[in-house]
Structure 1
Amino acid sequence: MSTINKKHTAYKTIGEVAKELDLVNKKTGHLQTHTIRYWETQFKQIRPIIRAGKRRYYSLKDLKVIKYIKFLLKEKGLTINGVKKMLNDGQSYTIDDSINLNVYKPGLKTTKVIKERIKNISKIIKELKNLKNG
């Protein structure tokens, strides 16, 4: 089977998006494209081009938004409504990698590691309070 290398700026199919986001059923190996279709119904920011045969094509902007939604739902544990609020409040679609609960830096003393974890947890609490009070 030949592999076609798409340009980075090319539109992606729903299967390519699911694969890139690792939306795969661990038991069966099937792509979970239904998740993306559900998110389309919940988030107006996702607007794929729908062609003949109802095939969906996602732009880089769509992909960025979907990645952000997945991050907020799966990594941050927000609800659909929480994510909607963030997106509707004009939050940028970037993932803050600086917030990391699993802080491990070789050579750091245990006290420093704990202080780093507390600092990161405080960031998350502040972020959640901002969402709640929004």
Structure 2
Amino acid sequence: KSRGVYETPGGTILYEAHQQLEELILDRDTTTLKMDMGNKLAQICYEGKWFSPLREAVQAFIESTQKYVTGEVKFKLYKGNIIKAGTTSPYSLYNESIASFTTGDLYDHHDAEGFINLYGLSCKIRAMKHKELENKK
């Protein structure tokens, strides 16, 4: 093994651009799982298991997440820093008319209340259960 410090400014810029596009195109759950699978792929490679069925499966998942990762990324480079200056993609999940929560057919503000109640239900049940058990003591 050897230890060393390697600088790849071009690679760093490309990596950051790709990250920006993924942020714009992939949903949160897919992004989280892709990061986990990326770490798993690194482990598989490190352990010399390139020809394993697991590597093929992990790689297939990662490749499937990249199908629509395309677009344009703008950066300003200044003294070793990469400063975001805009990202666009025809597959962007961001839609200004929806994100602004103006009146429209796609998003109803009343939906948020039900979502919040449902999303927090497990925490509410946990608190009730803990309170119930505390009262029995």
Larger Rg: 2
Greater RCO structure (CA 8 Å; 6+ sep): 2
Report the TM-score when normalising by structure 1.
0.28
Of Structure 1 and Structure 2, the greater strand share is in 2
TM-score using structure 2 length: 0.28
